[in-house]
Amino acid sequence: MPTYKAPLRDIEFVLHEVFDAEKHYQSLGFSDVNRELIDTILAESAKFTEQELDPIRHSGDEIGARLTDGKVVTPPGFTEAFNAYRENGWAAMSCATEWGGQGLPHSLMILFHEMAFTANVAWCAAGTLTHGAIRAIEAHASDELKAAYLPKLVSAEWTGTMCLTEPQAGSDVGLVKTRAEPENDGSYRITGTKIFITQGENDYSTNIIHLVLARLPDAPKGPKGISLFIVPKFLPTPKNEPGSRNAVSCGALEKKMGLKASPTCVLNFDGATGWMIGSPNGGLAAMFTMMNAARLDVGIEGLGAAELSFQGALAYARERLQMRAPTEPVCPEKPADPIIAHPDVRRMLMTQKALSEGCRALAYSIALALDTQDHASGDVKKQAADLIALLTPINKAFLTDRGLECANYGVQVFGGHGYICENGMEQIVRDVRIALIYEGTNGIQANDLIGRKLAGSRGKLVFDYIDQAEAFCLGNKFERLASMVASLQQHLKEWRQISEHILDAGKQGPNYTAAVAVYYLDYAGYVVLAYLWARMAQVAAEQLAKGTGNTYFYDAKLITAQFYFEQILPRTRSLVELVKASPASIMGLPEDCFGF
């Protein structure tokens, strides 16, 4: 059974030594956010997630959430953990002081989220979705709605949901049929059914605030005819307490592959009272404020799966005795050697380590850019927004794909024992699998990257990032990094070339970009991680040159970086060929010929 231990040394390395977080925060006006405060928050986050969340991960999966008389009952310990989360101020940490929050940078909350996702991903959604709802309401709702809902959401007395999906409308939200009928008092009557609603009913909070996509009677067809509404489970009283029950109910809980402790609901809206957020038919843009926050969190779910599986696999590989090492016995006094001595097991462990540490750097780079977008101005704000736009689909898709890969390696390291439920490794696979699907499937993320971000900017977002990475390469002064930097330079040049090839894709036919989108996103993900690994290697080389710090830690960074460049980055060779291939073999088979 993997026991989560927050990787504080690596988190601190990325945060302080690679990204200089203290300087970052203070440049944005957070004068009180110094190294001491940051490290205190990290230590307390580790304590909470290790002591409150990790111990109930496996039992929560075994017991699961249950629906009894229309009410959800979460597994033992889940509500108590949420109460501790609320009472200890975690929920309000990065929220605006105007609504009762602590006003700390958003990225500090994301650091907490990483630890929470790794320790117990099924517990997390009520908190993360509530933060997404807060961001959407702050950005788009009227002052009256903000005053009515934000204080209770910020304190986590109330939780939030995101209600998009319907039986006929998954990725294509333009097919939404839920209706919103206007009332004389400015409210709306919401009628329809939503499915796959995470935390649509729970026993964590006194009220649940649903953000619901619906259509006005005169709305145009498609995504341009969708509006967004606040629909509370209980209608607030004049004193802003839960009042009468609204006409929204949980009709069923989905039986799922994983995340069994997290209630996934069918919600029925039977003329429920709601209020519009933003402008009529402008709901999709408002909802994307919430969805983009969720996409960053979902990427971190992938990171969490990689980290937890690595920790479990590493502990097992050090203890499990099987056969002798290929060279000579490592433990001659024992009947066999620990499996960590075998090259194939090392390959899997090193892959987990290189991917989890590289993905952590990617997630943190976006988290810090969110601070800049929220609190800077002018060109600096615009540059941060461009970086977030480019990296968000990569973060969501690449990190979750790699998280599943690493979780599968964890099962493989355990062998048959990994397939047995009591050891907890197969749960990681089941829990992370949904992350490749929800908040926009990874194929949707790839289409977003290649369509909106690459083609939509005529390459500018991609080329600006390549320029930044190339400037880093020119500044390298360490001989030990020479081969890595040369490889990175070649890949950056190649990324530019295949991007230009795609921009000139009209000659390939209308299916071309959609057919190669996933390959292009994977290529971009591997190169982005190569850039970040080169940056981490440079910091490690600098520290070793100074003769300060833990030599073993920095040597491990350089060896892991070398492994990434030699054993993982070459995956791009096949991806280049796939990006350049014709879609003919994908689209050429007539539908009737798929099966006989």
Q: Which residues are catalytic?
A: 439
Q: CA-CA distance, 225 to 281, in Å (whole number)?
A: 5
- Quote the Cα angle for 562-111-21, to 5°: 75
**How many whole angstroms separate alpha carbon 365 and alpha carbon 470?**
17
- Rounded distance, CA 144 to CA 160, Å? 18
Note the Cα 196 to chain centre separation in Å. 18
Using CB atoms within 10 A of its CB, is residue 220 exposed (0-12), middle (13-18) or buried (19+)? exposed
Angle at the Cα of 326 (from 325 to 328), degrees rounded to 5?
65
Retrieve residue 454's tokens. 């690459």
Rounded Cα–Cα distance for residues 307 and 301 (Å): 10
The answer to whether 59 and 53 are in contact (CB under 8 A) is no
- CA distances 163 to 292, 359, 439, Å, are 15, 29, 11
The DSSP call for residue 371 is: H
Which of 501, 536, 535, 522 is closest to 569 using CA atoms? 522
Alpha-carbon Rg for the chain in angstroms: 24
Nearest to 213 by CA among 196, 197, 230, 198: 230
Do residues 308 and 290 lie in contact, with contact meaning Cβ atoms separated by under 8 Å? no
Q: Round to whole Å and give the CA distance between 510 and 530.
A: 32
The secondary structure of residue 213, as a DSSP letter, is E
Find the length of the chain.
596
| Residues facing residue 108 across a β-bridge | none
In sequence order, what E strands does 149-224 have? 158-163, 179-182, 188-198, 207-214
**Closest-CA residue to 258 (of 13, 424, 50):** 424
